Structure 1
């Protein structure tokens, strides 16, 4: 029994550990004092990531992992850990494909482009109408259902074709006879002369 107790106490002594107050690591209790002095003197905890870094390498660690960086597209200053997310989803200068023509433009311009591009029309072969691209998906589904229904109904009955009427003839403008035209000009001239003479006489009477 005494031999087993001695073995158990020996194993407990081997695995016994203590937590370093500086780096929070579990250190064998037999080495904790020496480790604590060395750790506090040579290592520093990074305030950004919590990693224990040699004091002499802290500036290098910060520059490589935590120093602000500029986006190569929009030049905005960001933390390096969010740079990839910014470039893929947030940057206003990232290239985005138009939902209608698949042409790529900067994200800042894509909404204005799609407002115009979505108003373009394409010819629907089913209903023989021009449909706006922004309405194409909904129209295609509705038109497909309607075309299936029309095919079923057309097998049961036929509709008369709409009568196509020729356009009405355009009546030519009525020509004015030359004699009547000269008479009209003479009347206008006489009226103008009479107005001028009356104006002159009126001015003389006023003096």
Structure 2
């Protein structure tokens, strides 16, 4: 019987047998499970945020680098670490973006108002001899400057004309109100009239004498 039992023993199977660690839930070779379990429970801790097993002495560093909220230097908002990259790339209102018409860089919160003005500026089209709004430039090129086969040229090959990278010109100050000018004119006429009347009265008195 002992010989038969020895004949059915497979050493390779014993080497590949595993057991599940009660602490980290990993599959560990059965021959090392006792040693691993003692070391695991003493040195590793499961992160409550991501479930990763982290060395106890490194848990604070792991939390600060992977899970702690971030204070955005631009907009001063507290952002959850999980969406930090998205916030920096697409959501922060103070992130720097470039105007699609003049390439001027400014905070994203100001982009809509800037482009609303900038896109209404015009450039002279050398082909059709017309002034075209910048916001309509690409559509104008596609619709009006088709190639010889009747197909529109690739929009990637057509760009808005080069121009100086700068913000839109400042708004001119308002002109003086016409009503104020009219009042000054009336005041001048009244003063002149009074002076004439006084001169006439003095002249008449001199003739009386």
In the superposition, the TM-score normalised over structure 2's length comes to 0.61
How far 1:98 sits from its partner (Å)?
Answer: 0.7
How far 1:144 sits from its partner (Å)?
Answer: 1.5
Aligned to 2:128, the other structure's residue is in SS state coil
Instruction: State whether structure 2 residue 112 is matched by structure 1 residue 107.
Output: no
- Corresponding residue number in structure 2 for 1:48: 49
How far 1:86 sits from its partner (Å)?
Answer: 1.7
Written as runs of structure 1 = structure 2, the 5 A alignment for 1:34-45 is 34-45=35-46
Instruction: State whether structure 2 residue 123 is matched by structure 1 residue 122.
Output: yes
- Corresponding residue number in structure 2 for 1:28: 29
How far 1:81 sits from its partner (Å)?
Answer: 4.3
Change (3 A) 1:40 1:147: closer
- Corresponding residue number in structure 2 for 1:58: 59
- Corresponding residue number in structure 2 for 1:202: none
Aligned length: 148
Deviations 1:19-45 (A, max 9, x none): 112101111212323322332233210
Aligned to 1:53, the other structure's residue is in SS state strand
- Corresponding residue number in structure 1 for 2:144: 143
1:70–1:78: 8 Å Cα contact kept in structure 2?
Answer: yes
- Corresponding residue number in structure 2 for 1:87: 88
The unaligned stretches of length 5 or more in structure 2 are 151-209
- Corresponding residue number in structure 2 for 1:69: 70
Change (3 A) 1:27 1:67: same
Deviations 1:68-125 (A, max 9, x none): 1111221221233432332122211111111111111111110111111111111112
Within 1, Cα distance between the matches of 2:45 and 2:148?
A: 74
Within 1, Cα distance between the matches of 2:17 and 2:148?
A: 81
Aligned to 2:45, the other structure's residue is in SS state strand
Within 2, Cα distance between the matches of 1:91 and 1:41?
A: 43
Change (3 A) 1:148 1:29: closer
RMSD (Å) for aligned C-alpha atoms: 2.8
Change (3 A) 1:147 1:128: farther
Deviations 1:152-191 (A, max 9, x none): xxxxxxxxxxxxxxxxxxxxxxxxxxxxxxxxxxxxxxxx
How far 1:8 sits from its partner (Å)?
Answer: 5.3
In the superposition, the TM-score normalised over structure 1's length comes to 0.62
The unaligned stretches of length 5 or more in structure 1 are 150-207
Comparing 70-79 and 80-89, the one that deviates more? 80-89
